[in-house]
Amino acid sequence: MAHFELVLESEFSAAHRLRMHDGTLEPLHGHNWRVEVFLEGNELDSAGLVADFVVLQRDLSRIVGRLHDTCLNELPAFREINPSTELVARHLHDEYAPTLPKGVRVAKVRVWETRVCAAAYVPGETATAIG
């Protein structure tokens, strides 16, 4: 089915340490994380937009800003789960998706931990149907 796609980017700096398979923690280290959010919509509004970029970016920046200059392990979202790049991507999806206007859905959230390493969260059909 034909649809429109929007892409937003954001950045944050944060530290983390992963719990390894044997239960040990790797050394604390930081990254300058880059976030890409891919949105989809089937319809355009009366102005010819899927949604207003200014509003979408404002909401994304607010959510990503909660991670900036933190140790991810100390945040409530990551106290019980590993703050891996994959789970950071899922967390950002789960926080951002409910803010979207009717008819707009998250197709994918990609998080770059380094310039050459990224992970993405791609929600299932029911998870993406917002509004």
The phi and psi torsions of 102 (rounded to 5 degrees) equal -55, 135
CB 129 within 8 A of CB 58: no
Percent of the chain residues topping a pLDDT of 70: 95
pTM of the model: 0.91
Instruction: Please give the pLDDT value at position 71.
Output: 98
Question: Which residues touch 43 (CB under 8 Å, ≥6 apart)?
Answer: 50, 103
Fold of the domain spanning 4-15+31-128? Tetrahydropterin Synthase; Chain A (3.30.479)
Domain boundaries, the chain: 4-15+31-128
Instruction: Please give the pLDDT value at position 125.
Output: 62
Report, as an integer, the average pLDDT of 33-50: 96
Helix (H, G, I), strand (E, B) or coil at 98: helix
Instruction: Please give the pLDDT value at position 124.
Output: 86
For 45-81, write each residue's pLDDT tens digit.
Answer: 999 999 999 999 999 999 999 999 999 999 999 999 9
What's the one-letter identity of residue 19?
Answer: R
Q: Whole-angstrom Cα distance, residue 13 to residue 5?
A: 27
Q: Whole-angstrom Cα distance, residue 92 to residue 63?
A: 7
